[in-house]
Chain A
């Protein structure tokens, strides 16, 4: 099997070849790549569904493309696939898998077999979800009872798929936590860890703690639907609000599963491209952990109009503001890092700067929704749709895309085409904002979400949004083609460390060898030692 091509250095890609060397691999780097390919397959599927919806919504009145039921199925599948198959596994499963051992100076994750097992569980869940597409469901990705109990039986398979996918998430989280605790190289103390590792660590904690709750919730839904035992359906004596509590107890923290690793990526990119240490490293680390912790106690802000008591609404509103502050701290720290830097504006940095803008919008619009009296007005309107797309797409997806560009030479040993990457960046950034800024305006004017059709006065904003969506889609297509084609067919070698990063994953060859490092690295300094020491700096 060992067939390193003559003249080419041995690395994890050419050490073993053939399909089985991938399917049986225990190498975290290959598993990370398998996840990346699978995730982007689903990203494209769900993205196309979004475009179909935007086409339908471009004009007031039916377009003739979809019936109302098909539209409802389209937004359900778009949401369910994006959330459960793409963005929840998201950055931890892809870049996290690839980078975590490299960043802490380990050969692999602590349980390589469990890692591969997690991947196959993901695959089984994904196949179940695909089969569920055949008997289309129309509940929305939230599966709210009692509608989900009264509608098509496809819900059972789809929720079962989400249940299975949950295990993949739990096992990956567990694997990462133990890896970070046990496999750090000598000298890699906690306060020397890259912020990306901290972000993965905080994320893994949420994965392990929150996912079982939604698992139970989905299981209860399946039991109710299959055996008619009354849990959530009032007709059977159940309580639909209980479903929402259990659902959001997971599904709000899951937002931080999606976004924290993206914060981590931005925290890695900005110092490298500014040649400056990350400003306020400790504050950034603490804010990640604070977000993960506080994120557990804000779930009912999804339910201010659901019939919960006014007192609990008040409590949850106040705690929700508690998430805003550590998030603000992060943004301040990123921008301060750029101060007096030597800034190179390559594609990863462009995405990182765009991220600052997008996350300011995402964060500040979250304030409207946390403010109780104002949220009553905005709940379940397009304002919410726009807000969470700013966090999920603008945050998590753009963070992932930024990271994929940044570590592309590390992963493939090649360099993507910078021109195409910049064109893609412009299309993504402009298209994204054009899609979702008008949706804030729609929400401000009372346009409810999940509407197949709408009154004509909303049309100009919807039309602009549709134009933006297609532009956005074109941008992602360009970026994915650029990365994908260069990875597969590119000939030109990239330097081992083209961006001159100081962090550990770049201190070995690119692509790395199977065991990552020739010999166990010994760490003597922290990751962000950029720039000349100055007297005014504190320690």
Chain B
């Protein structure tokens, strides 16, 4: 339990833990010794049978007093110096650090890279490269904290602050806001994604997400905004009440307001609630939402409205971006009468694979399906692949485990959505695309 610390993922994590363990060992030793002595004394010299025994009038001891003043002083000096040494490390970013600007606001994080790429609540960085996050808040105090890296700093609206670290291994690490900032404080989380340098370069220069976004219908753009503008922190999609009312079944609903009146949730009410949230509060909810005036365009609001319209009561959160929900589903389909390749084509259209994978050899988000079966190539980690049955099945179920070189890890997993036989059908269909 005393050695129970998070994973060490930065260069100075080991130093911090080393000092931590020193303090722990000394603390346990002194606590056991002193409390042990108190317990021992109370056992040995306990008054028995309600009868006092003679006690010596010991008033003190100069030598003992000196010892137990000097020894703790020496220990404290040692710990103080080591603490300062480690702190100096934590506060001194190397000159060649990768600079990333961070803007914190209630209740989310925006990361901006040197080429203008922006991400929300997620930051991807290369392993072995010192990274300096330059922090600034838009509103109240926040604090940037990644336990695995052993770093923390407040973000202020009045000055720039920073944290830096050098990640020593790849992986995904949890980040928290640790300065209390309001109703959504405990949802103000972010991920630090440490990847190989090659993958980082690809990721940094990959604009496929924007390309994909541009091709999306308004409601899906709205869904993307729902995540990137941090609506997700406070408004659920499944009907559960979080900090704010759920978006499930919100559209066209009559809401009771805090002043007792009722209002119909239409375009105008949603727009007003985004821009000036405190104007008309739904009963039972506090005035805690930050105003998005000046932070969101009219077009974006229309996308969010389109998204909210699609959410019926109790819609479960959907992980995969269901690009262009399949209209084919409406038509009666009898799969049993189809060939395997026809069934595969049906699944590909239903799941809208073609939104990201072209049929004509052009690159959209993912590799084209044209001539995909049996194709040879290289993965992002440098290993070679052959697109055989096993490879394709794995790419559909676990797309993140093998990214083709030059492509972003953007595809959601279809495990549970496409069965073994569905996948076999899709492979048959792929064989026909030449």
**Residue ranges of A at the interface with B (Cβ–Cβ < 8 Å):** 62, 67-69, 72, 138-140, 144, 146-147, 150-152, 234-235, 238-241, 274-277, 279-283, 305-307, 310, 313-314, 317-318, 321, 324-325, 328-329, 331-336, 338-345, 353, 356-357, 360-361, 364-365, 367-368, 370-377, 379-381, 441, 444-446, 448-455, 529-534, 536-539
Task: Tell whether B76 is near chain A: CB-to-CB under 8 Å.
Answer: yes
B59 cross-chain contacts in A, Cβ below 8 A: 277, 279-281, 537-539
Q: Is the CB of B182 within 8 A of A441?
A: no
> Contact partner of B87 among A144, A310, A345, CB < 8 A?
A310
> Contact partner of A371 among B6, B79, B145, CB < 8 A?
B79
> Contact partner of A368 among B20, B35, B157, B243, CB < 8 A?
B20
**A320 smallest CB distance to B (angstroms):** 8
A365 cross-chain contacts in B, Cβ below 8 A: 27
Q: Is the CB of B38 within 8 A of A68?
A: no
**B55 smallest CB distance to A (angstroms):** 4
Interface centre among A67, A147, A331 (most CB of B within 10 A): A147
B89 cross-chain contacts in A, Cβ below 8 A: 373
Question: Given the known A-B contacts A373-B16, A376-B151, are A317 and B60 also in contact in the complex, defined by CB atoms under 8 Å?
Answer: no
**B288 smallest CB distance to A (angstroms):** 6
Q: Is the CB of B56 within 8 A of A532?
A: yes
A239 cross-chain contacts in B, Cβ below 8 A: 158
Output the nearest chain B residue to A324 by Cβ-Cβ distance: B76
Task: Tell whether B161 is near chain A: CB-to-CB under 8 Å.
Answer: yes
Q: Is the CB of A373 within 8 A of B87?
A: yes
Report B127-150 CB contacts with A as 1/0, cut-off 8 Å. Answer: 000000000000111010101101
Q: Is the CB of A381 within 8 A of B57?
A: no
In the bound complex, CA of A286 to CA of B408 (Å): 67
In the bound complex, CA of A468 to CA of B6 (Å): 24
Q: Apart from A72-B182, A445-B6, list 17 A-B contacts with CB within 8 A.
A: A68-B185, A68-B242, A241-B156, A277-B59, A279-B59, A279-B60, A280-B64, A282-B60, A317-B83, A335-B34, A342-B45, A342-B53, A345-B46, A373-B89, A446-B145, A531-B58, A532-B56
Q: Is the CB of B30 within 8 A of A339?
A: no
Q: Is the CB of B182 within 8 A of A138?
A: yes
**A242 smallest CB distance to B (angstroms):** 10
Q: Is the CB of B182 within 8 A of A151?
A: yes
Question: Given the known A-B contacts A146-B140, A371-B83, are A532 and B57 also in contact in the complex, defined by CB atoms under 8 Å?
Answer: yes
Q: Is the CB of A452 within 8 A of B186?
A: yes
Task: Tell whether B326 is near chain A: CB-to-CB under 8 Å.
Answer: no
Q: Is the CB of B76 within 8 A of A321?
A: yes
Q: Is the CB of A274 within 8 A of B55?
A: yes
**B321 smallest CB distance to A (angstroms):** 24
In the bound complex, CA of A350 to CA of B69 (Å): 27
B183 cross-chain contacts in A, Cβ below 8 A: 68-69, 72, 138
B154 cross-chain contacts in A, Cβ below 8 A: 305-307
Report B26-66 CB contacts with A as 1/0, cut-off 8 Å. Answer: 11001100110111011001110000111111111110110
In the bound complex, CA of A376 to CA of B89 (Å): 12
Cβ-closest 6 pairs across A and B: A373-B86, A446-B147, A371-B83, A364-B27, A372-B87, A234-B158
B37 cross-chain contacts in A, Cβ below 8 A: 335, 338
Stretch from B170-178, B193-201, B300-308, B350-358 contacting the other chain: B170-178
A321 cross-chain contacts in B, Cβ below 8 A: 76-77, 79-80
Task: Tell whether B108 is near chain A: CB-to-CB under 8 Å.
Answer: no
Task: Tell whether B202 is near chain A: CB-to-CB under 8 Å.
Answer: no
A235 cross-chain contacts in B, Cβ below 8 A: 157
Task: Tell whether B399 is near chain A: CB-to-CB under 8 Å.
Answer: no
Give the interface size class of chain B.
Answer: 35 or more
Task: Tell whether B180 is near chain A: CB-to-CB under 8 Å.
Answer: yes
Task: Tell whether B286 is near chain A: CB-to-CB under 8 Å.
Answer: yes
Report B10-31 CB contacts with A as 1/0, cut-off 8 Å. Answer: 0010011001100100110011
Q: Is the CB of B176 within 8 A of A448?
A: yes
Q: Is the CB of A345 within 8 A of B42?
A: yes
> Contact partner of B41 among A281, A307, A341, CB < 8 A?
A341
Number of A-B contacts defined by CB within 8 Å? 299
Q: Is the CB of B182 within 8 A of A373?
A: no
Q: Is the CB of B38 within 8 A of A335?
A: yes
A151 cross-chain contacts in B, Cβ below 8 A: 182
Report B74-104 CB contacts with A as 1/0, cut-off 8 Å. Answer: 0011011011111111110000000000000
**Residue ranges of B at the interface with A (Cβ–Cβ < 8 Å):** 1, 4-6, 12, 15-16, 19-20, 23, 26-27, 30-31, 34-35, 37-39, 41-42, 45-47, 52-62, 64-65, 68-69, 72-73, 76-77, 79-80, 82-91, 139-141, 143, 145, 147-148, 150-154, 156-159, 161, 174, 176-187, 240-243, 286-288
In the bound complex, CA of A62 to CA of B148 (Å): 26
In the bound complex, CA of A377 to CA of B61 (Å): 40
In the bound complex, CA of A411 to CA of B273 (Å): 61
Q: Is the CB of B60 within 8 A of A147?
A: no
Question: Given the known A-B contacts A376-B90, A376-B152, are A360 and B31 also in contact in the complex, defined by CB atoms under 8 Å?
Answer: yes
Q: Is the CB of B30 within 8 A of A364?
A: yes
Q: Is the CB of A353 within 8 A of B38?
A: yes
B73 cross-chain contacts in A, Cβ below 8 A: 325
Q: Is the CB of B60 within 8 A of A444?
A: no
Q: Is the CB of B61 within 8 A of A280?
A: yes
In the bound complex, CA of A36 to CA of B382 (Å): 73
In the bound complex, CA of A206 to CA of B5 (Å): 38
B53 cross-chain contacts in A, Cβ below 8 A: 342
Q: Is the CB of B57 within 8 A of A277?
A: yes
**A412 smallest CB distance to B (angstroms):** 23
B91 cross-chain contacts in A, Cβ below 8 A: 310
Q: Is the CB of A374 within 8 A of B20?
A: yes
A532 cross-chain contacts in B, Cβ below 8 A: 54-57
In the bound complex, CA of A362 to CA of B16 (Å): 21
Could you show 8 A-B contacts with beta carbons less than 8 Å apart? A72-B185, A238-B158, A310-B91, A317-B83, A317-B84, A353-B42, A371-B80, A373-B86
A533 cross-chain contacts in B, Cβ below 8 A: 57
A281 cross-chain contacts in B, Cβ below 8 A: 59-60
Q: Is the CB of B52 within 8 A of A275?
A: yes
Interface centre among A72, A454, A530 (most CB of B within 10 A): A72
B60 cross-chain contacts in A, Cβ below 8 A: 279-283, 333, 537-538
B178 cross-chain contacts in A, Cβ below 8 A: 379-381, 448-449
Question: Given the known A-B contacts A305-B154, A538-B61, are A356 and B84 also in contact in the complex, defined by CB atoms under 8 Å?
Answer: no
Q: Is the CB of A357 within 8 A of B20?
A: no
**A260 smallest CB distance to B (angstroms):** 19
Q: Is the CB of B38 within 8 A of A338?
A: yes
A305 cross-chain contacts in B, Cβ below 8 A: 143, 152-154
In the bound complex, CA of A451 to CA of B64 (Å): 46
Question: Given the known A-B contacts A338-B38, A338-B45, are A364 and B19 also in contact in the complex, defined by CB atoms under 8 Å?
Answer: no
Q: Is the CB of B157 within 8 A of A537?
A: no
**B49 smallest CB distance to A (angstroms):** 11
> Contact partner of A146 among B38, B139, B241, CB < 8 A?
B139
Q: Is the CB of A371 within 8 A of B82?
A: yes
A357 cross-chain contacts in B, Cβ below 8 A: 31, 35, 38
Q: Is the CB of A329 within 8 A of B69?
A: yes
Q: Is the CB of B4 within 8 A of A341?
A: no
> Contact partner of A332 among B34, B45, B241, B288, CB < 8 A?
B34
In the bound complex, CA of A335 to CA of B84 (Å): 33
In the bound complex, CA of A251 to CA of B283 (Å): 37
Q: Is the CB of B180 within 8 A of A537?
A: no
In the bound complex, CA of A73 to CA of B279 (Å): 22
B4 cross-chain contacts in A, Cβ below 8 A: 441, 444-445
In the bound complex, CA of A203 to CA of B343 (Å): 82
Q: Is the CB of A451 within 8 A of B80?
A: no
A310 cross-chain contacts in B, Cβ below 8 A: 87-88, 91
B153 cross-chain contacts in A, Cβ below 8 A: 305, 307
Q: Is the CB of A147 within 8 A of B87?
A: no
Q: Is the CB of A446 within 8 A of B141?
A: no
Q: Is the CB of B180 within 8 A of A530?
A: no
Question: Given the known A-B contacts A305-B143, A377-B16, A444-B4, are A147 and B180 also in contact in the complex, defined by CB atoms under 8 Å?
Answer: yes
**A26 smallest CB distance to B (angstroms):** 39
Output the nearest chain A residue to B284 by Cβ-Cβ distance: A67
Q: Is the CB of B288 within 8 A of A336?
A: no
